[in-house]
Amino acid sequence: MPTFTYGTTTIDYILYRQERRDMKISITLANLVFYQGRFIATVPQNWSQKQVQDTLEKQLIRWYRKQGVKKLQQRTTYYQSLLNVQPKSINLRTQHKRRGTCTPDGDIYINWRLIMAPSNVFDYVIVHELTHLIIQDHSVEFWKLVKFILPDYEYRKEWLRVNGLSLQHQKEQTCSLSFL
């Protein structure tokens, strides 16, 4: 089965003939689904590798962003109650050099690519930015509060230091297709 790789995510996909006479359907668009713990895509057989690659990359990013919004809302609600804070808004966005941002007005932006990180690392970035609603700098008091909420925050922070660059530059990485 052919596969498509985007960063650390691998997708199996199926090439269908342009027209399936036995099923009386014509496949003209790619379809990406997450099924039993893995991505599966169907694409028209007559598509070039570049067309498959570009389309699946866009669909994968759309899927991650959609899932990320759900996860962000869920995890933010939990940590807001622990910190007793209420951001003006919290959203996912594309950030090329930052993992998260807390504005002076109380808006929080989290890099959408963090949805690909382990959940505990995603939580660390949320807690970090929510803590900025209380303490705007990275003082000793700031880190004490982060540690109070996440006693192992240093481990999570180190994971980001070591692995975060691969998340930040997913777009710049070469996507590859292979046929097994």
Q: Residue 128: its pLDDT value, please?
A: 95
Question: CA 171 to CA 141: how far, in whole Å?
Answer: 36
Residue 96 has pLDDT above 80, yes or no: no
Distance set, CA 161 to CA 38, 154, 166 (Å): 27, 10, 10
| pLDDT cut 70: percent of the chain above it | 74
How does strand 31-35 pair with strand 2-6? unpaired
In which band, very low, low, confident or very high, does the pLDDT at 53 lie, cut at 50, 70 and 90?
confident
Instruction: Indicate the domain borders of the chain.
Output: 2-173
Determine which of 88-97, 121-130, 153-162 has the lowest per-residue pLDDT on average. Answer: 88-97
Q: What is the pLDDT of residue 10?
A: 65
CATH class of 2-173: alpha beta
Residue 153 has pLDDT above 90, yes or no: yes
Does residue 25 register a pLDDT over 80?
Answer: no
Query: For residues 50 and 4, what is the distance between their CA atoms, to the nearest angstrom?
Result: 11
pLDDT of 166 > 80? The answer is: no
- 56, 43 in Cβ contact below 8 A? yes
Please report which confidence band the pLDDT of residue 176 belongs to, taking 50, 70 and 90 as the band edges: very low
Lowest mean pLDDT among 10-14, 87-91, 97-101, 143-147: 10-14
pLDDT at residue 38, as a whole number: 72
**Residue 141: predicted pLDDT:** 96
Q: Kindly report the average pLDDT of the chain as a whole number.
A: 78
Where on the phi/psi map is residue 37: left (φ > 0), alpha (ψ -120 to 50), or beta? left
Phi and psi torsions of 55, nearest 5°: -70, -45
pTM above 0.85, yes or no: no
Is 60 exposed, middle or buried (CB count within 10 Å of its CB: 0-12, 13-18, 19+)?
A: buried
Whether the per-residue pLDDT at 69 is higher than 90: the answer is no
* Distance of alpha carbon 5 from alpha carbon 26, whole angstroms: 26
